[in-house]
Amino acid sequence: MPTFKLTLEYDGRGFAGWQAQGQGERTIQGELMAALAEIAAGPVRFMGAGRTDAGVHAEGQVASAAFETVLDAETLRRALNAKLPPDVAVLAAELRGASFDARRDALAKRYRYQLWNGELPSPLRAPRFWHVREPLDLARLRAGAERLVGTHDFASFRGTGSAVKTSVRTLHRVELAGRSGAEIHLGVEGDGFLRHMVRNLVGSLVEIGLGRRSPEWITELLAARDRRAAGRTAPACGLVLEWVRYPDEPETPAKSAP
């Protein structure tokens, strides 16, 4: 049975998240499964690399789809895009081995969180950025972010409703770009993420950037392993899944063009 790796881009605003929900809830998985059902000759075995929450965007989400078809990968990509709504697209389709599983085989993921730190609102940025009006101190933000790199128990940054065996994760990089009073981008790369983890990290780092907490607070939060001790959950609109990396792929996977 052919197994395809699908690389996806979507605007999360119109979705109740990735995973198929109850009747009436629009999800990315639901739209893809509906499109695949029109193309596949039989049942589809489908798996996403991760479950983005409602309102979260993606530039390089990955799914695996196994089903009977005579289509080659490029024809499949075009066929899916012809059936999908305008807020989700297949950027690339690749034929993989029968055992490929988008979730199980993933080695690393990278998210980007986008902050608009201008005093005035920016209507064009509003769908993609969290607007924090007070000036943020980037030196303090970096000092706090550096304490997150490595293998830690991230229980203090785990959202409610997360059913996982362990909250220990490894962050390979936490990088900051931009300037105070303008756009600020926070890139977080790791081997896996807990529910709401990146948004909870950002909420706590903003407290540090505003001068309400010291960078050392991050170390205290990691030791506390208590979600109630950490900062607020940053809005979903600012979060983008940049890419998912697999064995035999470059350390920073290239984004495919539609």
Catalytic residue positions, numbered: 53
What is the SS3 assignment for 113? strand
Burial of 131 by CB count in 10 Å (0-12 exposed, 13-18 middle, 19+ buried)?
Answer: middle
Mutual angle of helices 138-146 and 197-209, in 10-degree steps: 140
Tokens representing 230 are: 């950490």
Residues 6+ apart with CB under 8 A from 44: 33, 36, 37, 65, 66, 67
C-alpha span between 128 and 61 (Å, rounded): 17
Cα dist from 174 to 31, 44, 141, 230, whole Å: 32, 37, 11, 18
The string of DSSP codes covering 172-190 is: EEEEEEE-TTSEEEEEEEE
